[in-house]
Amino acid sequence: MFDILIKNGMVIDGVGSKAVLSDVGIKDGKILAIGENLKDGGRQVLDAAGLVVSPGFIDPHTHFDAQLLWDGAAKPALEHGVTSIIPGNCSLSLAPLKAEDRKTLIGMFQQIEELPPAAFTDAFEWTWETFSGYRAAIEGTLSVNVAPLVGHSVIRLWVMGADAQQRAARPEEISAMQDLLRECLNAGAVGLSTSFVDVDENARPVPSRFAQFQELDALCAVLGEFGRMLQIVPEFYDTDITIARIDQLAELSLKHKIPTTLSPVFDNRQSPNNVPRTLARIDEQMARGARVWPQMQTRPIDISFSLLRPSLFFARLPSWVKILRLPVTERISALRDPVTADKLVADAGEDGGERLMGRLIVRGGGEAPEHLVGRTLGDIAAERGEVPARALITLSLENDLEIAFLAANGGHDSTDRIGPMLANPLVHIGASDGGAHLTSFSTYGDTGYLFSEFVRKSGALTLEHAVQKITSEPAEIWGLKDRGILKTGYAADVVIFDPLTIDRGIERPVFDMPGGGMRYVRDSIGVDTVVVNGQIAWAKGAYTNAQTGQICELA
Amino acid sequence: MTLSQQRRFTTPEPDETLDSLAARARPDLDLATAIELIRGWNLHIFLMRRPRGLLLGGDVVFIEPPLI
């Protein structure tokens, strides 16, 4: 008898095969049988008539490192069908990390990933310093599977202390980093992440950016001992630099026989040649045998923000960030101060912020006056006889900072262009940033959006191809053993969903972060049941108590 | 497969300054010209970065203008 028998579903195996009407039998956490009309019966029988039964989805770019310590389901990722996640991207992980460096790391997470400090101080005890210690801290309470990266910045911090953000490493320090990385890989790290763009809360480049290429090469030699992944954040705003990074990755991949990935890669009308040129170079390097996977996310970046808290929107305006970090009372005083306000307006650009802020839209749902909702800041500013940056300040003050704005269609801005790119065999669907940027946008539901926007609406991918792109392909790219395919003997990570309705819900604020912190989330639509390692983790709109998530075994 | 021509770049050596990088990367030019050109070809370092011109070990530094 099976533990779970899924009857009458349209089974999509994850490798691109056409959907077939079949049953799936699960026992002891594994797929035991797939076939028509399985007879053995099951302790739990799920009727999947009219629904798709597919492998669980894999999200290769997340920042759930801290959240996993109080929420082993990485909510709401799991209810969208995500059964395996990769945290530790962008050079940042919670281990290895000495106690004295925790504050430094929290500052970087706060700046880069928009995670509130309370997420690191209110919700868990730091009981570890080593990578194996972090693994032990999350194991046992996981509902999703986790394949954690180790961050280059924290490896540098461990070995070099404050000098990690000052200088190149000496040979003996590089050797120590190699030993530390090897220790992390032996403890189950899926690879190393590094960043070439990020800065800390003081606008200082993160430690990984001070590394010479020789240091990265030395670390990749260790990755090569295990055949594991190097993830980088390239200068995605510049095609020439991105191509230079692709060439560096290709060199490292060929030399050390490792897979590499860069994320994110964006396409928009302002730089229409970016992705075509990037993919052309990837094609050339892949043809040489290099493994360089560009990650593209399915959704556009729609940043919502108010002056109540810092936002990614102000990433290139340090004077604004500085003011937004003040306590609310002081912040309001500063914004009311004419000298400070003049400086903020000046820093927004010589055009008074027209280019940067003029197309912002006043967002509904908060305290915004109804007559302003849906209008652009540029229009409102013109009506008030102000430049947009000034109007942003005055409107916010008039509404006790409760008025929210939407910067829509950052990153991607065209479904017609993005669909074929996502379908391209060279493109790795990812870069969701799951669990990060909490107060700017929801990082959940990219998988549902893949099906609603690019399968049903544009038809850029078939249902089977879309499933393949977020199951077997990431499992193979990252070397996740026995996952990503519905096949006997493989892990029973299964999603049952309605292909006609699967989608992401509307973006909405919730206040469920430690310390009552806010984040934007999206509910899942059309996902019926999620099974992780043979147990139902989410069904019919509710989480179960299953904690069968694992640290992924690697090929 | 032959790789197509792409814009040439270098990466900084330990403790390298713009002067020494320019001398190393473009010995065919006089130093002042090389420095000025490299500044203009690398606005991500010499215009967008704070502090401007802070040279980092991981940087891609272009040593020629964009290819047309």
What is residue B22's three-state secondary structure? Answer: helix
Give a yes or no: residue B68 inside a domain. no
Nearest residue of chain A to residue B62 (CA atoms): A241
DSSP A555: -
Give a yes or no: residue B67 inside a domain. no
Domain of residue B43 covers: 9-62
Nearest residue of chain A to residue B2 (CA atoms): A284
CB contact under 8 A, A284 and B54: no
Give a yes or no: residue A127 inside a domain. no
Nearest residue of chain B to residue A284 (CA atoms): B3
pLDDT of the residue at A219: 98
Cα three-residue angle A362-A367-A373, rounded to 5 degrees: 30
Interface test with B, best of A156, A240, A283 (most B CBs within 10 A): A240
* Overall average pLDDT of the A82-103 stretch: 97
Question: pLDDT per residue over A500-546, tens digit each?
Answer: 999 999 998 899 999 888 899 999 999 999 999 999 999 999 999 99
CB contact under 8 A, B12 and A212: yes
Interface test with A, best of B8, B59, B67 (most A CBs within 10 A): B59
**Final residue in a domain of this structure, among A355, A379, A409:** A409
Domain of residue A360 covers: 303-409
CB contact under 8 A, B57 and A285: no
Q: Which residues contact A62 (CB under 8 A, 6 or more apart)?
A: A74, A77, A85, A86, A87, A89, A432, A433, A434, A435, A436, A443
Give a yes or no: residue B42 inside a domain. yes
Question: pLDDT per residue over A151-187, tens digit each?
Answer: 999 999 999 999 999 999 999 999 999 999 999 999 9
**Regarding predicted confidence, which is higher, A118 or A67?**
A67
Rounded distance, CA A162 to CA A171, Å? 17
Count of domains for chain B: 1
* A·B CB contacts under 8 A: 64
Give a yes or no: residue A308 inside a domain. yes
Set of chain A residues whose Cβ sits within 8 Å of the Cβ of B44: 235, 238, 241
**Which of B1, B11, B12 is nearest residue A288 as measured by Cβ atoms?**
B1
Asked if the model's pLDDT at residue A365 lies above 80, the reply is no
Asked if the model's pLDDT at residue B68 lies above 80, the reply is no
CATH of the domain at A508: 2.30.40.10
**Which of B14, B44, B58 is nearest residue A208 as measured by Cβ atoms?**
B58
- Minimal CA separation from B30 to chain A, in Å: 25
- Residue A435: phi and psi, rounded to 5, are 85, 5
Rounded distance, CA A208 to CA A553, Å? 27
Q: Give yes or no: residues A467 and A388 share one domain.
A: no
pLDDT of the residue at A366: 65
Set of chain B residues whose Cβ sits within 8 Å of the Cβ of A207: none
Set of chain B residues whose Cβ sits within 8 Å of the Cβ of A209: 56-59
Give a yes or no: residue A242 inside a domain. no
Q: Give yes or no: residues A372 and A309 share one domain.
A: yes
- Minimal CA separation from A252 to chain B, in Å: 14
CB contact under 8 A, A243 and B7: yes
- Minimal CA separation from B56 to chain A, in Å: 5
- Minimal CA separation from B45 to chain A, in Å: 11
Give a yes or no: residue A66 inside a domain. yes
CB contact under 8 A, B56 and A238: no
**Regarding predicted confidence, which is higher, A505 or A309?**
A505
Question: pLDDT per residue over A428-461, tens digit each?
Answer: 999 899 999 988 889 999 999 999 999 999 999 9
Question: pLDDT per residue over A47-69, tens digit each?
Answer: 999 999 999 999 999 999 999 99
What's the residue count for chain B?
68
**Which of A235, A284, A288 is nearest residue B44 as measured by Cβ atoms?**
A235
Question: pLDDT per residue over A220-269, tens digit each?
Answer: 999 999 999 999 999 998 999 999 999 999 999 999 999 999 999 999 88
Asked if the model's pLDDT at residue A270 lies above 90, the reply is no
Q: Give the whole-number percent of chain A exceeding pLDDT 90.
A: 83
Count of domains for chain A: 2
Query: Among A83, A57, A14, which Cα is nearest to A449's?
Result: A57
Q: Where are the alpha helices (DSSP H) in A165-298?
A: 171-186, 213-226, 239-256, 274-287
Q: Give yes or no: residues A71 and A13 share one domain.
A: yes
Band (pLDDT 50/70/90 cuts) for residue A116 is confident
Set of chain A residues whose Cβ sits within 8 Å of the Cβ of B1: 284, 287-288
CB contact under 8 A, A212 and B1: no
Q: Give yes or no: residues A465 and A533 share one domain.
A: yes
